[in-house]
Amino acid sequence: MIKRTLYFGNPTYLSTKLDQLVVRLPVVEKNPELPEGFKKEAQATIPIEDIGIVMLDHQQIVISQALLAKLLENNVAFITCNHTHHPTGLLLNLDGHTLQSQRFRAQLEASEPLKKQLWQQTIKAKIKNQAIALSVAGKEIQNMLHWADEVKSGDTENHEGRAAAWYWKNIFRDVLPGEDDFVRDPAGEAPNHLLNYAYALLRASAARALVGSGLLPTLGIFHRNQYNAYCLADDIMEPYRPYADLLVRKMLKETGGVPDLTPDIKKKLLQLPAIDIVLEGETSPLMIALQRTTASLAKCFLGEGRKIAYPVMA
């Protein structure tokens, strides 16, 4: 079942009762019989079992410890944003699978040849999906397909970098004002801010799926930054990034420019975990596909499989 992504961008009090997330927020009552500006509370409830991601994007949101514990117990990915409305924190369950210790051990003991082969599969899938994204945009892709076919174990010749240079030069070329090539840089100019937001959602979804499969999101197969707590999430989300890129491209095309990160734009980006994608011939929401990807990765670590199940863009 597809889990819901909840976004809170106003002063809100969040608590729990009877396995429900209880939302209470102040509203101004417009009633001539009451004092001007009289405030009361509006309340709503949501079953916790239906939730996959919660994002808090306001400095005056209060959440109870009881709710936080229940959300994590149900493997909900919990994202917090700073005063500039950019995602800055991710909280995950520490006990996401009954055989977690067995899978941790298998992951820790994975051989270098295996990890290099898994990274080769990852980069092949990423470049192929980037090529399809470019074809949707009407761009040349033969070089991308060539690079995808030429990726070796561990991507020792850095075909990922070659493909990325061509990809970012072209993916937004016809929907961005001006003639300068776009440069992908998290701290760079727009629409990097839209990509950052979409990737934060993707990363949270990937980390949540990894925990649900009994794997350590911190220990990557390629990413090894000692300051990165989600190296494996960054690894397995790579072939999924083009889905976020096309979503941003669609928004740029619809608006005829680069929109600010308004509540309406965020609402559109929050649809990312629910978009339909194809994995092994079956169509499912992205969040469900990620669970299948991480389950296949766990089998690779356990010696029960040799291939990660990655999606192919339609």
The verdict on 174 and 261 lying in the same domain is: yes
The verdict on 184 and 274 lying in the same domain is: yes
The verdict on 232 and 174 lying in the same domain is: yes
**Structural domain ending residue among the three candidates 91, 108, 137:** 91
In whole angstroms, what is the distance from residue 199 CA to residue 244 CA?
Answer: 7
Does residue 309 lie within any of the structural domains? no
Task: Transcribe 284-300 into DSSP letters.
Answer: EEHHHHHHHHHHHHHHH
Does residue 283 lie within any of the structural domains? yes
**Structural domain ending residue among the three candidates 61, 91, 121:** 91
pLDDT of 31: 54
The verdict on 122 and 67 lying in the same domain is: no
pLDDT of 181: 80
Does residue 310 lie within any of the structural domains? no
**Structural domain ending residue among the three candidates 91, 109, 137:** 91
pLDDT of 225: 74
The verdict on 229 and 262 lying in the same domain is: yes
Number of H helices, E strands in the chain: 10, 10
Does residue 311 lie within any of the structural domains? no
In degrees rounded to 5, what are phi and psi of residue 43? Answer: -135, 145
pLDDT, mean of residues 159-175: 95
The verdict on 152 and 250 lying in the same domain is: yes
What's the pLDDT tens digit per position in 207-254?
Answer: 999 999 999 999 999 988 776 778 999 999 999 999 999 999 999 999
In whole angstroms, what is the distance from residue 89 CA to residue 272 CA?
Answer: 19
Does residue 307 lie within any of the structural domains? no
What's the pLDDT tens digit per position in 4-46?
Answer: 999 999 899 999 999 999 999 876 555 555 455 445 567 899 9
pLDDT of 28: 54
- 2 has a pLDDT exceeding 80: no
Strand order in the sheet with 77-81: 4-8, 51-56, 77-81, 87-91
The verdict on 39 and 161 lying in the same domain is: no
What's the pLDDT tens digit per position in 251-291?
Answer: 999 988 888 989 899 999 999 999 999 999 999 999 999 99
Does residue 76 lie within any of the structural domains? yes
β-bridge pairing 62-63 and 13-17: parallel
The verdict on 143 and 79 lying in the same domain is: no
For 13, the enclosing helix (H) or strand (E) is strand 13-17
Residue 300, both tokens: 């690779």
What CATH number should be reported for the domain holding residue 106? 1.20.120.920
Domain count, the chain: 2
The verdict on 112 and 243 lying in the same domain is: yes
pLDDT of 32: 55
Does residue 46 lie within any of the structural domains? yes
In whole angstroms, what is the distance from residue 4 CA to residue 47 CA?
Answer: 10
What CATH number should be reported for the domain holding residue 83? 3.100.10.20
The predicted model scores a pTM of 0.89
pLDDT of 179: 56
The verdict on 23 and 138 lying in the same domain is: no
> For residue 84, what pLDDT band results from cuts at 50, 70 and 90?
confident
Does residue 314 lie within any of the structural domains? no
Q: Are 211 and 96 in contact (CB under 8 A)?
A: yes
What's the pLDDT tens digit per position in 98-128?
Answer: 677 888 999 999 999 999 999 999 999 999 9
The verdict on 157 and 227 lying in the same domain is: yes
Which residue has tokens 């949101």?
61
pLDDT of 96: 67
In whole angstroms, what is the distance from residue 273 CA to residue 200 CA?
Answer: 11
pLDDT of 38: 46
What's the pLDDT tens digit per position in 40-77?
Answer: 567 899 999 999 999 999 999 999 999 999 999 999 99
The verdict on 128 and 203 lying in the same domain is: yes
What's the pLDDT tens digit per position in 168-184?
Answer: 999 999 898 765 688 99
Domain hosting 147: range is: 100-302
In this structure, the number of other CB atoms found within 10 A of the CB of residue 276 comes to 12
In whole angstroms, what is the distance from residue 169 CA to residue 189 CA?
Answer: 14
